[in-house]
């Protein structure tokens, strides 16, 4: 069983969105997939309640532990477990990253987004955890994208070459408990997610 934590120190970067996007793409690949939602807001858990399909299985942290929930998925022979984490530097992030095989740091393209990456990047380096950075919710035609990639290169972590553009396909799909990969399989939104997923696989993160 492979496990990946999706993390960001700043709120509103799209951790929950990318967690479920990765999980659904793994499902579409024929894998057995689970999600552990450790964010008190329960964004992924609420999404799963709107979802018309039984998979992926989503477990909210609740009063349980990451170890306990991972054991549940291991017993169920899950191929991949994605862990959605809360923002800021909550202790649970450290636990999730430590228990995971890999981690994905999510950031926006602007200065206030980028300056929050350092803490997590340092954590990944100290833990010697396979990890990468992805730029998400990028405004269409944003000139800041190149500058953001240059700034993030100082952390010496792989940066996903596919930036996820902020498209209306994503919130529309979320309302239905789906992802753009399911709701609009031929769309630019779905194509970006597919390329991101392929890159994560190539990097050995999933």
Q: Cα–chain-centroid distance for residue 101?
A: 14
What Å distances lie between residue 63 and 6, 15, 40, 55, 87, CA to CA?
A: 21, 22, 11, 23, 19
Contact 38, 84 (CB under 8 A): yes
Residues in the chain, overall count:
206
Asked if residue 159 has pLDDT above 90, the reply is: yes
**C-alpha to C-alpha distance for 198 and 106, rounded to whole angstroms:** 17
Tens digits of per-residue pLDDT, 171-185?
Answer: 999 999 999 999 999
Burial of 154 (0-12, 13-18, 19+ CB in 10 A): exposed
Non-local CB neighbours of 129 within 8 Å, separated by 6+ positions = 97, 98, 100, 102, 103, 123
Asked if residue 45 has pLDDT above 80, the reply is: yes
| Residue of higher predicted confidence among 160 and 90 | 160
Nearest to 34 by CA among 16, 55, 15, 9: 55
Tens digits of per-residue pLDDT, 99-154?
Answer: 999 999 999 999 899 999 999 999 999 999 999 999 999 998 767 888 899 999 99
Asked if residue 89 has pLDDT above 90, the reply is: no
**C-alpha to C-alpha distance for 101 and 51, rounded to whole angstroms:** 27
If one counts every other C-beta atom within 10 angstroms of the C-beta of residue 187, the result is 16
Contact 142, 149 (CB under 8 A): no
* Domains along the chain with CATH numbers: 2-197 (3.40.50.300)
Average pLDDT in the 36-43 region?
Answer: 95
Q: What is the mean pLDDT of the chain?
A: 94
**C-alpha to C-alpha distance for 178 and 106, rounded to whole angstroms:** 20
This prediction has a pTM of: 0.95
Contact 97, 121 (CB under 8 A): no
What is the reported pLDDT for 63? 84
Asked if residue 60 has pLDDT above 90, the reply is: yes
Confidence band for 82, pLDDT divided at 50, 70 and 90: very high
Measure the N-to-C terminal CA separation of the chain; round to a whole number of Å: 10
Asked if residue 10 has pLDDT above 90, the reply is: no
DSSP state of 101: S
Asked if residue 88 has pLDDT above 80, the reply is: no
Asked if residue 201 has pLDDT above 70, the reply is: yes
């Amino acid at each position: 069983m492979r496990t990946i934590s999706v993390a960001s120190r700043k709120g509103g970067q799209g951790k929950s969105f990318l967690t479920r996007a990765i999980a659904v793409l793994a499902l579409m690949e024929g894998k057995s997939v689970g999600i552990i939602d450790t964010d008190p807001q329960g964004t992924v858990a609420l999404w799963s309640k709107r979802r018309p399909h039984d998979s992926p299985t989503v477990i909210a942290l609740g009063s349980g532990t990451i170890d306990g929930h991972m054991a549940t998925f291991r017993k169920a022979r899950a191929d991949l477990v994605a862990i959605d984490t809360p923002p800021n530097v909550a202790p649970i992030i450290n636990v999730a990253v430590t228990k995971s095989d890999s981690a994905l740091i999510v950031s926006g393209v602007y200065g206030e987004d980028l300056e929050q990456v350092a803490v997590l990047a340092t954590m990944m380096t100290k833990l010697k955890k396979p990890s990468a950075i992805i730029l998400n919710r990028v405004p269409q035609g944003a000139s800041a994208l190149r500058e953001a990639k240059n700034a993030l290169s100082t952390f010496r972590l792989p940066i996903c070459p596919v930036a996820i553009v902020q498209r209306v396909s994503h919130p529309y799909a979320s309302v239905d408990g789906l992802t753009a990969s399911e709701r609009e399989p031929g769309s630019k939104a779905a194509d970006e997610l597919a390329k991101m997923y392929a890159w994560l696989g190539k990097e050995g993160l999933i």
